Structure 1
């Protein structure tokens, strides 16, 4: 039975009951209406409206739950689907909404995977060009400056030395940018070595002290999962260094029941009620690609804490 007919029949039942009571009851309506008759009719109308309201409330309760689910659903934070309850049209509507959510999440995951893959490819290309083109050009400039400095008079030689130092600093910065764009250590030496290099690079700049603890007995992770963990750590460390005003940052990576936990906490000002920026949204999108859970928020003792839980399904080998 459709929703229209259910509501129609509910109202018809109430009205029919009220009409039957008027027909078979002892109450009549005089002209003019007497006070007692008016009170009885008013009471009957109130009872009829109350009964109609209760029946409609019970019948439309699943729609209220569906409305709440529609207003709170976030594709970056998947949650439980609304329970399929009710009859006919209402149940079909909830079931259709759940199907739509499944399709939207699947399409978003596919488009996000393609976008992030293209982003990583572009990062590798830019890093390669920085290393091969700009890096080699600056290296050639350094060699040429050294040759000129060896034949220049003393006053000019000192100025050339200063230009050499500036050029060398620029070359180091370009190499640092290239490493952030394309973590070659991750591909060559693995996740732990890449995180150590990230921590050393971050701790050596500014006044941020980085403390680390990496579990050497991590389960086997795929390339995609390792890249997600590294990028989340990289974004978290970058946000801490730029925006938090923190002096200490703790980064922990260890085994948990059924997976791996990356926990990063600083002693900065926290995020409070600030709107999540593109960096955190990008972290959530990456986490969804590998079925991981990402929590970003203020720590009870102050500062910001990032938790990334990566599920790992280890293969069992039998004999």
Structure 2
């Protein structure tokens, strides 16, 4: 009886230690996410306010120069002005995708569209985007995390996949939000997937919002992702707001 009581107490302590460790790891990961979001927000401000302002000034100065030049040189200057103007617009679009406040203001669909339009303009990828079902609002903090998961997939596609096209589908169901993304790149073997490939980061972010994260890939077959996000009840939203 003494041994059984001792074993139960030991198991109870081990379970408590495991739960404490799990809570610590969750808190640590949430802190990392918050730090990343603040860093991205700061970069967004720098791009929009500082670099954006410098490019705007350059455009104005080019316009002033253009009035005092012969027509042939003026055409060359106009080409430079167009390049600087396009760069300014790209900087502004990029700053939108980094700032979580902008994402919350314009919404998930529009934020994704901004990113895909940028890929098209830069000739990175041909994209296809569709949304079905009646829109249901996500918890604001969860919406940011969902978008960052999608961005991580986009980043991996640009960096590693050698893909020429990218397709994303959003489906609003009664209880879930289903997001499916697929590229037509070179794919990879799951056995050889590296920890730094972004997969662990996407999976960890998914766990943070209780979403189901699934992906399929094989050499020569591209990569596909399916994210299932369960809509929260009003009580859960209130609880999340209190915790946040």
If the length of structure 2 is used for normalisation, what is the TM-score?
0.81
2:51 counterpart of 1:166: no
Among 41, 47, 53, the alignment partner of 1:130 is 47
CA displacement, residues 202-234 of structure 1 (integer Å, 9 cap, x when unaligned): 334325222222124133311011111111111
Aligned to 1:81: none
Q: CA–CA distance in 1 between the matches of 2:100 and 2:119?
A: 14
Among 197, 207, 210, the alignment partner of 2:114 is 197
Number of residues of Structure 1 aligned to a counterpart in Structure 2 = 233
Aligned to 1:238: 155
2:217 counterpart of 1:293: no
Task: Rate the CA distance shift 1:252–1:100 in 2: closer, same or farther, 3 A.
Answer: farther
The 5 A counterparts of 1:21-100 are: 92-100=9-17
Instruction: Find the structure with the greater CA-based Rg.
Output: 1
Q: CA–CA distance in 1 between the matches of 2:143 and 2:122?
A: 25
Structure 2 alignment gaps of length 5 or more: 236-244
Task: Rate the CA distance shift 1:97–1:265 in 2: closer, same or farther, 3 A.
Answer: farther
The 5 A counterparts of 1:100-111 are: 100-111=17-28
CA displacement, residues 222-258 of structure 1 (integer Å, 9 cap, x when unaligned): 1011111111111112211221122232212223463
* CA drift at 1:94: 4.7
Structure 1 alignment gaps of length 5 or more: 4-86
Aligned-CA RMSD value: 2.8
The answer (yes or no) to whether the contact 1:2–1:89 under 8 Å persists in 2 is: yes
Task: Rate the CA distance shift 1:149–1:123 in 2: closer, same or farther, 3 A.
Answer: same
Aligned to 1:148: 65
Aligned to 2:240: none
Aligned to 1:308: 227
CA displacement, residues 96-142 of structure 1 (integer Å, 9 cap, x when unaligned): 44333322221121122122112212211221222112111211111
The answer (yes or no) to whether the contact 1:183–1:194 under 8 Å persists in 2 is: no
The answer (yes or no) to whether the contact 1:250–1:264 under 8 Å persists in 2 is: yes
Task: Rate the CA distance shift 1:249–1:162 in 2: closer, same or farther, 3 A.
Answer: closer
Q: CA–CA distance in 1 between the matches of 2:6 and 2:186?
A: 50
